[in-house]
Amino acid sequence: MTQSNPQPDRIDVDDAASLARWTRELDTTEEQLKDAVAQVGDKAADIEMHLKGARSTTNADRVQQSGSK
């Protein structure tokens, strides 16, 4: 079995080491990462933007989280 040279900007959800690395780097779960790859492809920059968009908050949300009124 030959393994191709992994590309550093690609996320291989079938590779345990790659999956672990990217869930840690993108602060996400394996399930969210796999879902993002299914939706936008395996390019890390695209996945990061997709995940950030999914987590975006409004200013009102941030103010509420900070405890300010």
H-state helical runs in 9-58: 16-25, 30-40, 44-54
Spatial separation of the C-alpha atoms in residues 4 and 2, rounded to whole Å: 6
Residue 44 in contact with residue 11, Cβ under 8 Å? yes
| pLDDT of amino acid 55 | 59
- Label residue 52 by pLDDT band (50, 70, 90): confident
For residues 37-56, average pLDDT:
88
Q: How many CB atoms are closer than 10 A to CB 42?
A: 17
| pLDDT of amino acid 25 | 93
pLDDT of residue 12 exceeding 70, the answer is: yes
pLDDT of residue 14 exceeding 80, the answer is: yes
| pLDDT of amino acid 57 | 56
For residues 29-41, average pLDDT:
95
